Amino acid sequence: MSNCIIIGAGAAGMMCGILLGEKGHRVVILEQNERIGKKLYITGKGRCNFTNDCSRDEFLESVKSNPRFLYSALDVCSPQDIIEKFESWGMRTKVERGKRAFPASDKSADVIDTLRKELKKNGVKVLLNTKVTEILTEDGGVRGVNAVTDGKISTYAADHVIVATGGISYRSTGSTGDGYIFAEKLGLKVTQRYPSLVPMNCAEEYCRELQGLSLKNAALHIKKGKKEVYSGFGEMMFTHFGITGPLVLKASADLADVIGRERLTSWIDTKPAVSEEQLDARILRLFEANVNKAVKNVVSELYPAKMTPVILMLSGVDPDTKVHDITKEQRAAIIKATKELPITITALRGYEEAVVTKGGVSVREINPKTMESKKVPGLYFIGEVLDLDAYTGGFNLQIAWSTAAACAAELW
């Protein structure tokens, strides 16, 4: 059996350590934080959506970067495999809307406690507050790492070094991008990185006026020139800086490398379930029943309270105008503002608010069956440090589990 060093005690690192420990390998995980699974604690707003109980095809459709790279890893560890594994380790699970899997307790701590128990059971040693500063090589292959603990540098010999450092999203959890530095120093290509699954900054002042307003069913459309580059439907919310929510996060995953770098035209359809004609007919019925009222008091039946003044402002209609004085053109303007609420996306929010990092160690440098570097024998990369990212819903954590399992299977 071999000596294995794993850099990082996040989802991928812990899973890989457990699986290697089960087969009798001597495993040491070096973690720079004061505790394991720091990012897991806050995943899914503390509930930890740890995978998605979907089919293989559905899973791959939800992976934004390099889905084909994951074929072999999913063969080793599918979403159903990981649910079964956690259940066999004593953690009850449940599957909710959108096939999202959670611990039955709704507590991310249960996922971490389960992993901690299995690490201990399988003899995996975890050294906290230990920061790896260098991966050591000899004759082109790995021979260990240098790491600092309490200001003291130590050398750890290893036959295999597995980099599971994560990306640079949620820096407060220790995601400092060290894995990218290790890769580049050893001659591996690292692709451009962007924050992904992240809210968006917008130019419109009325976003601040709408702050806190959530739209359960809205459509977001984004064009680059004449080409529509994103069209999505779902829940979103206005904030003091712009927009957020599942619909917006998904758009950020599709356009992380475009937003803030190219000129885009975007708008929100606040009532995508009805056509312009249907909306016009509804407004006409309201107007006919309230001809002597101010338009602001009539159209308020169509919108949340915060939205009414914004719609009328964009329509160029005086809120105090009596309904019987509203022209056909003004009515059309109200409909246009409702169906095409303009939104100028200026930038994505930063890594501190990003769920994942888009980009990373190029998968062309990595053997997809083993996660081993093609250039440095004995060096492996797993999890978010790789140029792999997906939508929300448990897919990114499954990437961590699957790449970890593929790496561990190679060393079995």
Residue 210: CATH number of its domain: 1.10.8.50
302 with 164, same domain: the answer is no
pLDDT computed for residue 411 by the predictor: 74
Residue % of the chain over a pLDDT of 70 = 99
Domain boundary among 321, 349, 377: 349
Model confidence at 117: pLDDT above 70: yes
Output the six-digit token pair for 381: 């990369």
Residues 173 and 241 in one domain: no
CA distance 276 to 339: 7
Confidence of residue 112 (pLDDT cuts 50, 70, 90): very high
Q: Is the pLDDT of residue 317 over 70?
A: yes
Co-location of 27 and 113 in the same domain: yes
User: Within a 13 Å sphere around the CA of 337, how many CA atoms are in the beta-carbon half?
Assistant: 21
pLDDT of residue 1: 72
Mark whether 392 and 285 lie in a shared domain: no
Rounded CA separation 167/210 (Å): 33
Q: Determine contact, residues 201/346, Cβ cutoff 8 Å.
A: yes
Mean pLDDT calculated for residue range 46-62 = 97
Pair (356, 304) in one structural domain: no
pLDDT for res 79: 98
Could you tell me if 365 and 372 are in contact, meaning their C-beta atoms sit under 8 angstroms apart? no
Q: What is the pLDDT of residues 291-307, one digit of tens each?
A: 999 999 999 999 999 99
Convert the pLDDT of each residue in 215-256 to its tens digit: 999 999 999 999 999 999 999 999 999 999 999 999 999 999
Does 380 score more than 90 pLDDT? yes
Lowest mean pLDDT among 36-50, 211-225, 375-389, 396-410: 36-50
- Can you tell me the distance from the alpha carbon of 42 to that of 109, in angstroms, rounded to the nearest whole number? 9
The per-residue b/e assignment along 215-245, b for 16 or more CB within 10 angstroms, e otherwise, is: beebbbbbeeeeeebbebebebbbbebbbbb
Res 362: pLDDT = 98
Is the same domain home to 73 and 182? yes
**Range(s) of the domain holding residue 337:** 199-349
Please compute the mean of the pLDDT values over residues 312-328 and round it to a whole number.
Answer: 96
Q: Which of 349, 371, 394 is the last residue of a domain?
A: 349
- End-to-end CA distance of the chain: give it in Å, rounded: 9
In this structure, the answer to whether residues 38 and 90 fall within a common structural domain is: yes
Say how many domains are in the chain: 2
Which of 304, 326, 349 is at the close of a domain?
349
Q: Are residues 176 and 106 in the same domain?
A: yes
| Res 346 pLDDT > 70 | yes
Reported as a single tens digit per residue, the pLDDT across 93-110 is 999 999 999 999 999 999
What's the rounded mean pLDDT across residues 193-203?
A: 95
pLDDT at 412: 65
Same domain, 86 and 233: no
pTM for this entry: 0.92
Verify that 238 and 163 share a domain, yes or no: no
CATH number, domain of 39, equals 3.50.50.60
Reply yes or no on whether the pLDDT at 143 is more than 90: yes
Res 173 pLDDT > 80 = no
Per-residue pLDDT averaged across 128-136, rounded?
97
What pLDDT is attached to residue 2? 85
pLDDT, residue 91, reads 98
Q: Do 303 and 357 sit in the same domain of this protein?
A: no
Q: Is the pLDDT of residue 280 over 70?
A: yes
In this structure, the answer to whether residues 186 and 322 fall within a common structural domain is no
